[in-house]
Structure 1
């Protein structure tokens, strides 16, 4: 998490955030040597963010902008190099206002950031997905490069033996979990920031993220329906439980209502946090 001052663009501070996140991952299982893939949209397609990820030992999969270099690279792809794919679920195309369920993918070798000095250029693969152009414009007599298809491309450094063209495209299109995290936080602690002071809001954000992580961990330990539950659901069903504390025989007991539907989840959570004593 990072709180930025003012109307900051998406790439601002991304290098530090990527470096910190990758440094944290190195300390977690499976530990050093594991390959990590950093996925991002076109706002983060820049030398600074890509180079930071590569320096930390990760691969990248970043959507590229349709600039002249990208269009020229796509034009070199042969007609017989395209592989047809079908989406498990249709994808909504905002430009045409239609749902696309079929597409074709291909790839070409591509060197990113050729405008920089040679040592800073990054070789990789340009994976391209094309779908039929359903919103054709009137022919004005000028031939165009993209007259029958719409193209979406991303740059990746993943070895083709690890992810081939189809697998790389499928991996890049996977749902970004961070969007669910953002929605969850906005529905709880980040519904509003409590102060007009930057420092106070920054501290509030840190606490909000810590609370989110702890609550989601509780949901994972409770298992069952709580594994993917939002933090609001976990708070309502596992934290704010309808119980009363009673003392009996010098022991504290929690009295829950009969036939409480979330009993098993609470028991799994309690056992994971406070396991029973081991016999000698």
Structure 2
């Protein structure tokens, strides 16, 4: 495929939103028709639509890899390195399926005042797509390796896991919490590389609201699911490892506007061990 440097206006023209401009979609389609073993490499800052997705062999999303991006791309395509990144945003199925074009939010498409009201509250990004059950092209947290993985032996326990990754690399605790509070509970499971080559898996843990949130916390908003932890697990072919992800108190809390303080949302809460925001492998409950 011929090399062409793109500008931001190429990728995101105002009149087409997330569509590649300047005939690039047509170019990919024609190349794929001539050679179905085509791999599309994307260097972009935001999601793009992929009308040609079913016609190509693979898509390598590099985002903006900067100075060493060429070497990194070559290593990934040649198999010298394995992909291990996960999407930090949701890739929509169409422009019409995005929040900005949703009829529930008419002020997003055009506004004369210059102001936009974000009335969805916490339901932004992947949370909005899950909340509205909107079909997507690729969900938040999605990513593939050159192998396959199997999850087993899930356990949801109200106990603190080991605090740091062990020297053997078998135990993990990764948290998005900004403080150093002890984990309130841990989620553990086993990951096995069931393929024939080394690979990297990124299991993710999401949590839902208390079952009685509407009556117990009527002034608070909770997302249907929220990412509370993840791990980066590298395994040789056929190898297995135990993974433990600690969930901290701050991640179970909401900001109480009445008391102007953080408060733990107590009750029975659903927990999901997932491969991405829309692919839960196991689910369980914890009592907070």
Q: Which has a greater percent of helix? A: 1
Q: Which has a greater percent of strand? A: 2
Pair member with larger Rg: 1
**Which has the higher relative contact order, 1 or 2, with Cα contacts under 8 A spaced 6 or more apart?**
2
What is the TM-score normalised by the length of structure 2? Answer: 0.22
